[in-house]
Amino acid sequence: MDRGILAAIRLLPNHKKSIQELILRNGDFRTLCTDLVEAEAALERWENSKSPNKEAHCAEYRLIIIGLEAEIRQTFHDK
């Protein structure tokens, strides 16, 4: 299964079937899910980094993830 779908299902497990259907027909939603996966991966890389800027980058990606998760939740709240 696509990692974007899995991320959305992990976030909203009660909407699994709707997520699977929506991701097939809505490019914007698919992009949102892909962006979430990419942001989560970037956060993980920064968390494992030895860079002196590690904390700033981690904070930035945490905020991005919060925003993306909110947009995904809103998609199903509006229905």
Structure tokens at 18: 């709707």
Q: Which of 27, 20, 29 is nearest to 2 (CA)?
A: 20
**Which position has the token pair 């914007």?**
28
pLDDT band at residue 12, thresholds of 50, 70 and 90? very high
User: E strands of the chain, at which residues?
Assistant: none
Residue pLDDT, tens place only, 21-71: 999 999 999 999 999 999 999 999 999 999 999 999 999 999 999 999 999
Structure tokens at 56: 């700033």
For 37, 51, 69, the CA distances from 23, given in Å and listed in that order, are 14, 36, 15
